[in-house]
Amino acid sequence: MDKLPTTLLEAIRYFADEDVAVAFVAKLRWPDGPVCPRCGDKRHYYLTTRRRWKCRACAKQYSVKVGTIFEDSPIGFDKWLPCLWMVANSKNGISSHEMARSLGVTQKTAWFMDHRIRLAMKTGTFQRLSGEVEFDETYVGGKPKNYSNSKRKALASAGSLPKGGSAHKTAVVGAKQRNGEVAASVAPGTDWDALQNEVRAKVESGSKLYTDAHRAYKRLYAEYDHEYIDHATAYVRGDVHTNGIENFWALFKRGLGGTYVSVAPEHLDRYLDEQVFRFNRRSGDDSQRFQKVLSGVSDRRLSYKELIGKL
């Protein structure tokens, strides 16, 4: 295989040849050779004119897109792979409008492509963090003063127009291992039990745990070496602080507010997966992040009806 691209411009040129792009994806997906996604047999022959393989066991044809986020997409790899490169390496994300202009597709198509790529960025299995770990929760959502007139009227008529704070916002929780990775997710709830269960799911028992002064965390003394900082009086007390995870929240919200502007709560988890992916691989180069996303495209198909909740 030729020298791999290291920049977006090189990637656009490299994957402009569909045969080169198909071979690249196939090699990354099947290091030991193509495998029939239907019967699992490795015996095949390649149909050059169709860029497909035909299984010698079940006689079914299959492409490298089958069983991946690319399945049933008429978009060629000459657009898919540069799109994936940009999503994987844009620090604050890239909007579907900008993506549409860059690729020459509609905004609706670019939005669908972006979400399928975010699905490939999702961490499949995540080991709990250990050592020194910071844990914090935050809220994501628009300010009431920025609501549309129709939304303001609807909430006002129902008597539930918020004046500020966390009302009508979505809670997200996250843990950051110092000098290590971040694990974050949309919170299933904000009650004490829910927050404590999120800590247990993300942080290994017995670890050094740093949090703010939220009372829910104070019940975890028996399971963790827990210290907290009361932000009403200070933000740092020696090694006791949550600045690391709060830095991640700042990056995440900067992308939401500056790039995506408006994110529906039902899609927030994928935007969070995207930011976690890039943050945890911040020390790698663009090509490494690109290949890591591409290695996660299998068995993660997402239909448009499923995306918009109209199954």
Q: What is the pLDDT of residues 51-88, one digit of tens each?
A: 999 999 999 999 999 999 999 999 999 999 999 999 99
Domain parsing of the chain, residue ranges: 8-31+65-121+294-307, 132-272
In this structure, the number of other CB atoms found within 10 A of the CB of residue 45 comes to 9
Tally of CA atoms within 13 A in the half-sphere of 193 that contains its CB? 0
* Distance, CA of 120 to CA of 68 (rounded, Å): 9
The model carries a pTM of: 0.89
- Among 186-195, 223-232, 243-252, which is the least confidently predicted range? 186-195
Q: Choose among 155, 168, 184, 171: nearest CA to 247.
A: 184
Distance separating alpha carbons of residues 122 and 269, to the nearest angstrom: 9
**What is the 8-class DSSP label of residue 280?**
H
Is the pLDDT score of 267 beyond 90? yes
Which three-class secondary structure state does DSSP give residue 100?
A: helix
| pLDDT level of residue 158 (50, 70, 90 thresholds) | low
Does residue 268 have a pLDDT over 90? yes
**Given a cut of 70, is residue 244 above it in pLDDT?**
yes
- Residue among 212, 286, 267 nearest 96 (CA): 267
Q: Taking every pair of C-alpha atoms in the chain, what is the biggest distance, in angstroms? A: 71
What tokens were used for 90?
A: 């844009």
Helix (H) or strand (E) holding 46: strand 44-47
Q: What is the mean pLDDT of residues 232-257?
A: 94
